[in-house]
Every structure is written in structure tokens, then in C-alpha cells.
Amino acid sequence: SAGRPLKVMISGAPASGKGTQCELIVKKYGLVHISTGDLLRAEVSAVSEIGKKAREYMENGLLVPDEIVTEMVVSRLSREDVKEKGWLLDGYPRSPAQAESLERLRVRPDIYIVLEVPDEILIDRCVGRRMDPVTGKIYHVKNFPPETEEIKARLITRADDTQEKVKSRLETYKRNTESIVSTYLDVLNKIDGNYGREIVFREIDTLLQQIQPDSGEDSTQG
Ligand code: AP5
């Protein structure tokens, strides 16, 4: 593909739709999706050393210690596919120390997207979320029900998606967000995430087209 590979960060409260939008971004732009939540859940399933350390924090809706997560992200960012295709960082940085680590390594995004969704809606989205362990696809019991009975039967609920844990994850997000955002003010773009999936994606797509106009097929302006 023409031009420099895109570097995108996507942020937002728990259940603001980061994973859902990343799926659509990857489909169109081919970026390497690096989701710390997904990477950590894979480590937990594999019962690896990292997984053993991370499990309790995650199940309780707490942040996993910075060193563990930062090492995981830095090692993923250093792989060859990332240089070729660009990256889409989802769920990282999530603390001031994590943002500082990236700054020290001179890892900066072309754009920092924040999905904004009201608290009441976030709680409903979390409590209704289901995941397909086979494809990794994210569903919602009301908003995005599974396509077939077979998929429906194998869906799982995340241990940290109870009302109580969502509240504490949300508090952590609110406590940290301002200082992280201040690191990326020059490339900050807030998006109203309280619309349907396709409408939210259209907004993101427009922003990405502006910074990389030759990568999409439906670009109408330079
Ligand atoms: P992580 O997996 O990153 O969780 P999160 O930030 O809480 O985000 P979610 O995955 O809950 O939500 P999302 O924004 O991706 O929303 P989704 O698209 O699924 O992290 C999990 C844990 O890992 C953390 O708590 C922590 O312990 C650890 N961790 C991760 N990163 C870390 C870090 N950097 N440092 C330390 N610890 C870290 O959508 C949610 C639901 O809404 C779905 O059901 C979906 O179908 C539905 N939905 C989505 N979009 C829409 C829409 N537009 N309209 C209606 N419904 C929608």
C-alpha cells in the first residue's frame, strides 16, 4: 500500500466500543491490532507466567501492573509486521506511567481517538456483552445478537463484566484519562460513541482518510 503506515491509538471507557471499532478499522486499513486486553486474556487462557500474574487483577477489574503490560506491548510493537502495516493500539497506554514509557521510546500516534459514551450506557453494554471464544468476535445480547444458534450456545461472559466491577473499571478510567490525554493533545480526536456501530465507524473512517487519503476506496476529498 502507498504511503507511510498509520499509527493509531484508540481509547475510551470500558465498553465504549474500542474492540468493536478496531475490528472494522482492521478490516479496512489492515493495521496490526494490538489490544492489551486481548493479549492479557490470551495469556490467562494459556496459563502462562504473565497470565498467572495478571489473572487476579483482571478478574477484579483492576489494572495489571505497568511493567507486565508495557513489556508485552513493546515486544509486540517491535515485530516486523508492525513496521510494514502500521499499528492500532487499543487499551494502552492506560496509566500515566505507560504513556511515559511510550514517550521515552518515541512511540507516538498519528491520531488519538477517544470514544465518548455516557456512564449508564456503558454499564448496559458491559452487562450484555458476550464473546465468541472461537472467533474472538464481540456480541451483545440486545444490540448485536449472534448470527446462529450454534454461536449463541458457545458464547461466554467475561468475569469482569458484572455491574460492580464495571463501576470500578470506570472509576479507574476516569482517574487516569486526563493525564494520558494531555500527552496526545496535538493529535486528539473525540468521537461520540453513543451511536450505532456503523455510524461511529464512519466518523473514524473520515478521520483516518484525512491523515492517509490514498488508503480507502470511497474517498471523495483530498
Ligand atoms: P480491556 O479488554 O481493554 O477492557 P476495557 O477497556 O474495559 O474495554 P472493553 O473490552 O470492556 O470494551 P471495549 O471498549 O472494547 O468495548 P466492546 O467493543 O467490547 O481490558 C480488560 C482488563 O485487562 C483491564 O480491566 C485490566 O485488568 C487489563 N488491562 C488491559 N489493558 C491494560 C493496561 N494497558 N494496563 C493495565 N491493565 C490492562 O463493546 C462493549 C459492548 O458494547 C459489546 O457487547 C458490543 O457489542 C457493544 N457495542 C459496541 N459498540 C456499540 C455501539 N456503537 N452501539 C451499541 N452497542 C455497542
All domains of the chain, ordered by start, with CATH? 7-117+176-211 (3.40.50.300)
Counts for the chain of helices (H) and strands (E), in that order:
10, 7
This complex has an ipTM of 0.96
Report the separation in Å between the CA atom of 16 and the middle of ligand 1, taken as the mean of its atom positions.
7
Q: Which of 28, 53, 158, 167 is catalytic?
A: 158
Strands (E), the chain: 7-12, 32-35, 87-90, 111-116, 129-131, 138-140, 188-192
Nearest CA to ligand 1 atom 29: 37
Strands (E), 70-143: 87-90, 111-116, 129-131, 138-140
Cβ 132 under 6 angstroms from ligand 1: no
Q: Which of 41, 129, 130, 165 is catalytic?
A: 129
Q: Name the pTM for this structure.
A: 0.92
What are the grid coordinates assigned to 126, written together? 458491559
Element (H, E) at 145: none
Q: Which of 94, 125, 130, 165 is catalytic?
A: 94
Q: What's the confidence (pLDDT) of residue 4?
A: 83
Cβ 7 under 6 angstroms from ligand 1: no
Catalytic site residue 202? no
pLDDT 10s digit of each residue in the chain, 222 long? 457 899 999 999 999 999 999 999 999 999 999 999 999 999 999 999 999 999 999 999 999 999 999 999 999 999 999 999 999 999 999 999 999 999 999 999 999 999 999 999 999 999 999 999 999 899 999 999 999 999 999 999 999 999 999 999 999 999 999 999 999 999 999 999 999 999 999 999 999 999 986 655 543 443
CA distance 198 to 204: 10
Catalytic site residue 94? yes
Q: What's the confidence (pLDDT) of residue 96?
A: 96
